[in-house]
């Protein structure tokens, strides 16, 4: 399990902000535990990580993202197409791996079922030509866009695809699009990181690209499922990442 830690000094005390992700590596886990044993407090971004670091014997707090739920207004019938969001700065990042998997393995299956399907890829992309060569049609690379433009894109699209296969923490992009009322299909790993198991998203196994593509098509074409996932994810974001809750949690941690 590859792990990233960052020590920060706050209000005269030292805190350890920690993340962990795949692939699993026992030696690195033990090394990280030795480091955080010297901390006064550990701050993690999810309950799962808090449970892991509670084994160390140091007080653990959870501080998730702060996201305002501002749902886009268009109805299911007024929308069409898919969104992928995430900056790509090199070929070894989770976003690069996810987009390469989506374009090469999943997108052709989606287009086979929905020949007119469109995919908007949002975020800085330093490997644009490499990814353009994988496209099976219907893909538009928008690059980095403003918050206003992101709202407009989310208002026109039906489904956010999150095919992330390795990562750490709680995915901010997933929460950001969910807060805009855009339902998503995710890998099981993203579902686990979010802790959403009550219909807030549509999970799919990335090991089976056909199954993943079918999940994307189903959410895109089923208005009842789409509305249910939208409502559940908006409620989850409001509960998990409410700005007032974030401020209260931060005040508690730094008190």
Summarize pLDDT for 192-232 with one digit per residue, the tens. Answer: 888 899 999 999 999 999 999 999 999 999 999 999 999 99
Give the residue from 82, 77, 70, 74 showing the smallest Cα distance to 113: 82
Residue 83 inside a domain? The answer is yes
Asked if the structure places residue 50 within a domain, the reply is yes
Question: What six digits make up the tokens of 16?
Answer: 């350890």
Q: What is the pLDDT of residue 121?
A: 96
44 lies in which domain range? 2-62
Total count of domains within the chain: 2
Q: Minimal CA–CA distance to 98: which of 137, 131, 49?
A: 131
Rounded CA-CA distance 93/9 in Å is 28
42 and 8 part of one domain? yes
Query: What is the value of pTM for the model shown?
Result: 0.80
Domain shared by 132 and 227, yes or no: yes
Cβ atoms of 150 and 122 within 8 Å: the answer is yes
Residues 56, 80 within the same domain:
no
Region 104-122: mean pLDDT is: 97
Helix 223-240, helix 172-179: angle, nearest 10: 120
Query: Which of 1, 88, 11 is closest to 43 using CA atoms?
Result: 11
Q: Which two tokens stand for residue 80?
A: 């069409």
pLDDT in tens, 54-76: 777 788 888 777 788 999 999 99
């Amino acid at each position: 399990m590859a792990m990233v830690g960052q020590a920060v000094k706050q209000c005269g005390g030292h805190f350890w902000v920690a993340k962990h992700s795949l692939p699993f590596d026992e030696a690195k886990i033990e090394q990280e535990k030795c480091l955080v044993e010297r901390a006064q407090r550990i701050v993690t971004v999810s309950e799962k990580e808090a449970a892991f670091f509670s084994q160390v014997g140091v007080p653990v707090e959870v501080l998730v993202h702060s996201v305002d739920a501002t749902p886009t207004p268009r109805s299911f019938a007024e929308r069409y197409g898919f969104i992928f969001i995430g900056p790509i700065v090199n070929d070894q990042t989770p976003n690069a791996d996810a987009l390469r998997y989506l374009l090469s393995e999943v997108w052709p299956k989606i287009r086979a079922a929905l020949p007119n399907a469109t995919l908007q890829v949002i975020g800085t992309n330093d490997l644009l030509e490499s990814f353009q060569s994988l496209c099976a049609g219907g893909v538009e690379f928008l690059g980095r866009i403003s918050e206003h433009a992101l709202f407009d894109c989310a208002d026109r699209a039906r489904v956010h695809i999150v095919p992330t296969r390795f990562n750490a923490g709680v995915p901010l992009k997933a929460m950001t699009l969910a807060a805009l009322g855009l339902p998503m299909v995710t890998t099981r790993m993203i579902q686990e990181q979010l802790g959403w198991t009550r219909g807030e998203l549509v999970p799919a196994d990335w090991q089976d690209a056909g199954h993943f593509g079918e999940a994307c098509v189903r959410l895109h074409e089923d208005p009842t499922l789409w509305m249910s996932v939208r409502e559940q994810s908006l409620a989850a974001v409001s509960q998990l990442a409410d700005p007032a809750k974030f401020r209260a949690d931060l005040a508690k941690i730094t008190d």
